[in-house]
């Protein structure tokens, strides 16, 4: 069994799938933008586009595609640093090695959507934004815009969480204990680490504050437990949570207890102190409280060995937001302050934002980034067509506007879900969440929900890539 895991690693199931899709995507299809590297000293001016979208993820890709669907004459350029699109949603199912799921399930190439929908795509990293001059500087050169849409997603904030770590240590930890909340190599590294482990504990750390997809670490714990159980790997999945919050908590706890017993352990109030990646040890301070009156609690420093560490560091808006100098919410995440329920930033009428960086109260997710991308495209189109944008959504409640599924079991596949309704009152967006139970079994998890998870994923990725 261990041999089969190693063999799978040797033949590089994940790596070859990634290489294949990377090779497919050679598109540098920006009209007027050359792929030639910019001179080191002064970036070269590559051209001008009516609308530039930074980030070809769930939000950005939706904006670009829908702008072109509304008006093919719109001149839209997406700037995306990765050559391939990698979906975070469903990536945990790959760690669970669910039947028929592999790296290719969540890696997509941009070629088809670019060709079919007719927007431009420049693969480069945005490194500066000059709002006054309306210029975006990329690693390949500078490009002017009339309207800028930002959907760059998140970044980790290791410095805030581990002030004593220098850049070298942060880079090393990022490589060997990836957070796997950002699309790209992190997911591949985590998968490889798991596939090569023979025994021992997998530790997942959960940060305090806002972070991308709050149920994701708990779904991941379930999927890793499913994999270890299936493969007969001796060990536990231990979650070190800086708080005591678990998104969809009752549903996850029910599933862990009934499917994995003692194999899955969740520990509250663990403040991480340090990681020794060579010795594979993590040190944390755990606070335990006797009762509700015990406000201070008792702090104990502990060190655990791990075989695999998924260190999810504090999250913040991607630095692209800071580059644009937009006003952000005062919390540590720093989301873009928006103009009411609109997708226009409060600071600059020519800059819009979608996805996880949006500062009004939409629950951030791939689903809502896709929805927001469509709304944002409509809003921009109205403006470019010289019409006042009627905020028709402002008085509505969007039923089940966000549906977030989490796979919890394998053999049979079972999943749980959380639904969020949005309501708009003109200035504020509020969302109400609920976690339904399976009507037949009376349990949170169900096989029908697992089927819906597959359908949802097929639907949203086909919306992005067709
Ligand atoms: C494990 C996991 C599971 C999840 N499951 C679900 C789920 O089941 N359902 C759901 O709805 N959501 C889920 N999510 C959340 C979802 O992935 C995010 O909410 C969504 O991706 C947000 O979209 P976005 O456009 O803001 O960011 P992203 O999709 O991350 O896109 C940002 C893009 O910007 C690019 N970029 C960043 N910086 C630059 C730069 N400087 N220059 C050029 N390009 C740049 C990035 O490469 C990336 O492609 C999950 C997330 C994780 C981590």
Which of ligand 1's atoms lies nearest the C-alpha of 365? 19
Binding site membership of 181 for ligand 1 (Cβ less than 6 Å):
yes
Judgement on whether residues 56 and 140 belong to the same structural domain of the protein: yes
Judgement on whether residues 255 and 243 belong to the same structural domain of the protein: yes
CB 181 within 8 A of CB 312: yes
Judgement on whether residues 69 and 197 belong to the same structural domain of the protein: no
How far is ligand 1, taken at its centre, from the CA of residue 88, in Å?
Answer: 7
The last residue of a domain, from among 392, 417, 439: 392
Q: Are strands 351-353 and 141-150 parallel, antiparallel or unpaired?
A: parallel
Which of ligand 1's atoms lies nearest the C-alpha of 323? 41
Judgement on whether residues 411 and 388 belong to the same structural domain of the protein: no
Binding site membership of 80 for ligand 1 (Cβ less than 6 Å):
yes
Q: Which residues pair with 431 in a beta bridge?
A: 422
How many alpha carbons lie under 13 Å from residue 86 in its C-beta half-sphere?
A: 25
In a domain, 276, yes or no: yes
Residue range of the domain that includes 117: 2-155+316-392
Whichever domain contains 98, its CATH number is: 3.50.50.60
Residue owning the nearest CA to atom 20 of ligand 1? 366
How far is ligand 1, taken at its centre, from the CA of residue 341, in Å?
Answer: 21
Structure tokens at 459: 């639907």
Residue owning the nearest CA to atom 31 of ligand 1? 57
CA distance 390 to 341: 11
Binding site membership of 59 for ligand 1 (Cβ less than 6 Å):
yes
How far is ligand 1, taken at its centre, from the CA of residue 299, in Å?
Answer: 36
Crossing angle of the two packed helices 185-196 and 13-24, in degrees rounded to 10: 160
Binding site membership of 369 for ligand 1 (Cβ less than 6 Å):
yes
Task: Output the tens digit of pLDDT for each of the chain's 466 residues.
Answer: 333 343 333 333 333 333 333 322 333 333 333 344 444 567 899 999 999 999 999 999 999 999 999 999 999 999 999 999 999 999 999 999 999 999 999 999 999 999 999 999 999 999 999 999 999 999 999 999 999 999 999 999 999 999 999 999 999 999 999 999 999 999 999 999 999 999 999 999 999 999 999 999 999 999 999 999 999 999 999 999 999 999 989 999 999 999 999 999 999 999 999 999 999 999 999 999 999 899 999 999 999 999 999 999 999 999 999 999 999 999 999 999 998 888 999 999 999 999 999 998 888 999 999 999 999 999 999 999 998 776 544 556 665 578 889 999 999 999 999 888 877 666 667 778 889 998 889 999 999 999 999 999 999 999 999 8
Which of ligand 1's atoms lies nearest the C-alpha of 181? 53
Binding site membership of 416 for ligand 1 (Cβ less than 6 Å):
no
Number of domains present in the structure of the chain: 3
Q: Which residues pair with 276 in a beta bridge?
A: 281
């Amino acid at each position: 069994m261990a041999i089969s895991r190693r063999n799978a690693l040797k033949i590089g199931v994940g790596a070859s799938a990634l290489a294949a899709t990377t090779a497919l995507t050679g598109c540098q299809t920006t009209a007027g933008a050359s792929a030639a590297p910019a001179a080191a000293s002064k970036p070269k001016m590559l051209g001008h586009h009516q609308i530039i979208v930074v980030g070809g993820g769930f939000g950005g890709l939706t904006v670009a595609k829908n702008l072109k669907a509304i008006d093919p004459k719109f001149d839209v350029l997406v700037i995306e640093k990765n050559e391939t699109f990698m979906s975070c949603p469903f990536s945990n199912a790959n760690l669970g090695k669910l039947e028929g799921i592999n790296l290719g399930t969540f890696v997509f190439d941009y070629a088809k959507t670019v060709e079919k929908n007719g927007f431009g795509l420049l693969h480069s990293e945005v490194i500066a934004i000059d709002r006054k001059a309306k210029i975006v500087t990329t690693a390949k050169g500078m490009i002017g815009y009339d309207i800028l849409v930002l959907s760059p997603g998140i970044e980790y904030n290791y410095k805030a969480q581990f002030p004593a770590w220098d850049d070298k240590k942060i880079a090393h930890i990022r490589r060997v204990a990836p957070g796997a909340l950002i699309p790209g190599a992190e997911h591949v590294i985590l998968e490889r680490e798991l596939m090569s482990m023979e025994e021992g504990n997998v530790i997942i750390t959960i940060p305090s504050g806002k972070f991308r997809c709050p149920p994701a670490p708990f779904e991941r714990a379930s999927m890793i437990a499913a994999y270890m159980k299936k493969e007969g790997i001796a060990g536990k999945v231990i979650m070190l949570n800086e708080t005591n919050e678990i998104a969809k908590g009752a549903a996850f706890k029910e599933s862990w207890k009934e499917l994995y017993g003692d194999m899955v352990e969740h520990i509250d109030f663990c403040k991480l102190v340090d990681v020794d990646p060579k010795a594979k040890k993590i040190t944390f301070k755990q606070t335990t409280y006797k009762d509700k009156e015990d406000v201070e609690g008792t702090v104990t420093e502990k060190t655990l060995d791990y075989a695999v560490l998924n260190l999810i560091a504090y999250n913040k808006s991607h630095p692209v937001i800071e580059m644009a100098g937009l006003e952000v919410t005062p919390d540590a995440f720093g989301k873009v302050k928006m103009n009411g329920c609109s997708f226009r930033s409060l600071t600059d009428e020519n800059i819009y934002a979608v996805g996880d960086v949006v500062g009004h109260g939409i629950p951030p997710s791939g689903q809502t980034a896709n929805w927001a991308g469509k709304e944002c495209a409509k809003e921009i189109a109205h403006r470019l067509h010289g019409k006042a944008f009627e905020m028709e959504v402002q008085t509505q409640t969007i039923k089940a506007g966000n549906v977030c599924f989490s796979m919890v079991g394998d053999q049979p596949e079972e999943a749980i879900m959380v639904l969020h309704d949005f309501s708009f009152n003109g200035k504020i967006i509020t969302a109400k969440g609920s976690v339904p139970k399976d009507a037949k079994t009376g349990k949170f998890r169900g096989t029908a929900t697992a089927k819906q998870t597959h359908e949802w994923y097929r639907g949203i990725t086909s919306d992005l890539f067709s």
